[in-house]
Amino acid sequence: MEVEETENVEANHDTEEAGNILVVTVPDVFKLLQTIRASKKICSVSFGPVTPKTSLPSLALSLNNNLLEFYSIEKRASTKTLAIELQGHRSDVRSVTLSSDNSLLMSTSHNAVKIWNPSTGSCLRTIDSGYGLCGLLVPHNKYGIVGTKDGKIEIIDIGSGTRSEAVEAHGGSVRSIATIPNGNGFVTGSADHDVKFWEYQIKQKPGQDSKSLTISNVRTMKMNDDVLVVAVSPDARYVAVALLDCTVKILFMDSLKFFLSLYGHKLPVLCMDISSDGDLIVTGSADKNLRIWGLDFGDCHKSIFAHADSVMAVQFVRNTHYMFSAGKDRLLKYWDADKFELLLTLEGHHADVWCLAVSNRGDFVVTGSHDRSIRRWDRTEEPFFIEEEKEKRLEEIFEADIDNTFEDRHVPKELPEEGAVALAGKRTQETLTATDSIIEALDLAEVELKRIDEHEEEQARGKVAEFQPNMIMLGLSPSDYVLRALSNISTNDLEQTLLALPFSDALKLLSYTKDWTLNPDKVELVCRIVTILLQTHHSQLISTPSARPVLAVLKEIIYARVKECRDTLGFNLAAMDHLKQLMASRSDALFRDAKSKLLEIRSQQSKRLEARTETKTEKRKKKKQKK
C-alpha cells in the first residue's frame, strides 16, 4: 500500500509540472556582479584580451563624446583604471590649420583648441576656448588665432598652452579668417555684415613681466549681407568676400574699392581660395558646385558638379592649379583646375567633412569631420592614370545605379523563404553588355532584311544582280544571326539581359521567335525568351495592335512545339527505363539459377560420398567372408 501511495504522489507531481510550463529567465542563468556607470552614453563595449590575475576580465567602453574608458572588474567593485580624454575632440572638428613649416596643426571645436604634431599624430596641447569656427597660426608658430561663434577672436599661446586674450571683435559669429601675405595681420568676416582688418602688435600687458601678442583693428568695411568667407590674393592686391546673397565681391585691398562681382551660384558660397599666381579663384557652394573664375576679368571658366552635398572646403596646392575639395558627402576630391578634371576621390570619413588644410609642398592633406576625427592623407609614389580612375568611377556609378534604372515588374516583392529558389535579380555590366549585343544584332538584321527586300524587288523588275550578303553576319540569315547572339548569353544572365531590353526591340525579337521554334534544340530557349518578354512588357503588348498577330502565331506554334518536346522527352525517358531494365537483367543472368545449380552440385557430391562408403563396406564384408 505504501508503494502504491508513493507512486500516486509522484504521478500527481509529474502532472502538475506538465501543466505548469517552466520558463527559464535571465537570473536563472546569469548572476549580476557589478553595474558600471560611465560618464556619458556608451556606444560600444569590448573585453580586454589580457585579464589580470586579481580581477575578472577588463572592459573598454567607447562613449558618444569620443572618450575611451577602461575598467577593471573585481568581484566586489569595479575600478576605473584608465581614460583617454584629451587626444581627440569631443565634438565635430570645425577648422584645421597648418603652420608655415608644416610642423604644427591647429584644430578647433566647440570647447577646445588642440595643437597636434601632424607627422606623428600626437596631441601636444589642449586649450579651453569658445566654439571655434575658424583659425590660423601666426608666423613663427608661437600663437594661434581663433574666431568663435560668439564673435570673439581668441589668441592662443601655444608655448604655454593657454588662452592669452579674447577680443570682442564682432557682433556676430566669426565665419572666416584669412591671413595677409606680408604676415603683419589678418582679415575676418562675420555674420554682422562686417569685414575687419587686424594687425599684430607685441605689447606688455599690465601685471605681466613679458610681452605678448595682441591685435588691433585698423579698418572695417560694412557689407550688405552676412559675410561667409573672406580670402586675400597672394600678392595682397585683392580681397574676396562671399556674402549670403550667393555673390562674391572682389575688392581692391588698399582702397577697398569695388572691382568685380562673381555671381552664378544658386546657394551661398561656403568656401573659396585663390591660386598662388593670382590667376584663378575657386568657389564652393551649398548648391554642390565648384566654380572656377578668372581673377582678371571675373569670367567663369567652368562650373563643376563636385559633390553630392554642400561643398564645405576648397584649397589650392601651392604654386599649382591643382586643388582639393571636401563636402558633406564625406568625400575628399582632388581636381585639376586647368583641365577641369577630377583626378582622385578619397573616401574614409564617416560623416560630413567640414574643413581641410594642404601642406606647402602638397605632399599631404589634413581633413576634419563631423565624425570628430582628423585624417591625414599622404601622397604616395605610386602613379595613377586619369583614364583608369575615370573608368573606376563610371563602373562604381554604373553598379550602384544599375538596379534602379529599370523596373522589375515580374520580380516578387517579398523575399523567398530560406532554401527556396528565386530570381537572382542583380544586373551587372555583363548583362547590359549582352543587351547591347542583342540590340546591335537586331539592328543589323533589320538592315539586312531591307536589303533582301530591295534585291527581290529588283529581280521582279528584271534587274538580275547577285545579292552580296553582309560579311559581318558570317554567312547567316538575319534570323540565325539574332539567334546566335542570344545563344552566346549564359543561361544565368539571360533573364536580366532581356529585362533591360526596350519595348521596341522586344517586339522585334518576338517576331523572330516563330522561326526559331522549327529547331527542336532551341524550343526551350524560345519559351524562356517569350515568357520573360510577356511578363515584362505585358501591359504594352496588349495595347499595341501590331503585336497581336505575332502573339497569336506564337500561341499556336509554341504550344505545339512544347507538346512535341514533352512527348519526345517522355518517349526518351521510357526508352531509357526499358534499357535500364534490360541491362539489369543481363547483368544478373549469370547468377539467376545459382541456387538451384548449387543444390544440384551438393546432391551429386553427397551421392558420390554415399557410393564410396558403400563400396568400402562391401569390400570389408568380402574380406571377412574370405577369411
The pLDDT of residue 414: 47
Q: Which residue from 515, 508, 527 is spatially nearest to 476, judged by alpha carbons?
A: 515
Phi then psi dihedrals of residue 204, to 5 deg: -100, 115
Region of residue 242 (left: phi > 0; alpha: psi -120 to 50; beta: else): beta
pTM over 0.85: no
Mean pLDDT for the stretch of residues 493-506: 80
Gyration radius (Cα) of the chain, Å: 44
Higher-pLDDT residue of 2, 433? 433
Task: Give CA separation, 579 vs 401, 421, 566, 582, 597, in Å.
Answer: 54, 33, 20, 5, 28
- Cell numbers at 375, concatenated: 585624417
What confidence category does residue 567 fall into, taking pLDDT thresholds of 50, 70 and 90? confident
The helix/strand/coil state of 321 is: coil
Residues 6+ apart with CB under 8 A from 65: 40, 90, 91
User: Do residues 361 and 352 touch, judged by C-beta distance below 8 A?
Assistant: no
Q: Where are the domains of the chain?
A: 34-85, 429-566
pLDDT at residue 84, rounded to an integer: 67
Task: Mark 519-542 as b/e (b = at least 16 C-beta within 10 Å).
Answer: eeebbebbbebbebbbebbeeebe
Cell of 49: 584580451
Top mean-pLDDT range of 348-362, 391-405, 487-501, 548-562:
348-362
Helix (H) or strand (E) holding 254: none
C-alpha cell at 149: 561663434
Mean pLDDT of the 240-254 span: 95
Select from 250, 273, 272 the least CA-distant residue to 261.
250
- pLDDT digit string, tens, across residues 504-558: 888 888 888 877 877 777 778 888 888 888 888 888 888 888 877 878 877 778 7
Q: Give the model's pLDDT for residue 1.
A: 38
Alpha carbon distances (Å) from 489 to 74, 193, 493: 66, 66, 7
Candidate from 136-140, 278-282, 306-310, 392-396 with smallest mean pLDDT? 392-396
CA 201, distance to chain mean position in Å, is 51
Please determine, for residue 248, whether its predicted confidence score (pLDDT) is greater than 90.
yes
Give the integer Cα–Cα distance in Å for 104 and 120: 11
Mean pLDDT calculated for residue range 314-332: 95
Say if residue 403's pLDDT is above 70.
no
Percentage with pLDDT > 90 across the chain: 40
User: What is the spatial order of strands in the sheet that 68-73 belongs to?
Assistant: 42-47, 59-63, 68-73, 78-84
Name the nearest CA neighbour of 177 among 136, 215, 139.
136
45-67: pLDDT as tens digits: 888 776 666 667 788 888 887 78
Strands 374-378 and 289-294: unpaired
148: amino acid identity, one letter:
T
What distance separates the 2 farthest-apart alpha carbons in the chain? 167
User: Do residues 291 and 276 make contact, with C-beta atoms less than 8 angstroms apart?
Assistant: no
What does the pLDDT read at residue 192?
Answer: 94
Give the list of residues 6+ apart from residue 9 with CB closer than 8 angstroms, or none: none
* pLDDT at 445 (0 to 100): 82
User: For residues 76 and 216, what is the distance between their CA atoms, to the nearest angstrom?
Assistant: 61
pLDDT score of 290 more than 80 = yes
Distance CA 528, CA 565 (A): 14
CB contact at 8 A, 178 and 190: no
Task: Provide mean pLDDT across the span 198-216.
Answer: 85
Residue with cell 583648441: 113
Residue 516 CA to residue 512 CA, distance in Å, equals 7
Q: What are phi and psi of 311, to 5 degrees?
A: -85, 115
pLDDT at 413: 43
Residue 61: phi and psi, rounded to 5, are -110, 130
How far is 500 from 425, CA to CA, in rounded Å? Answer: 12
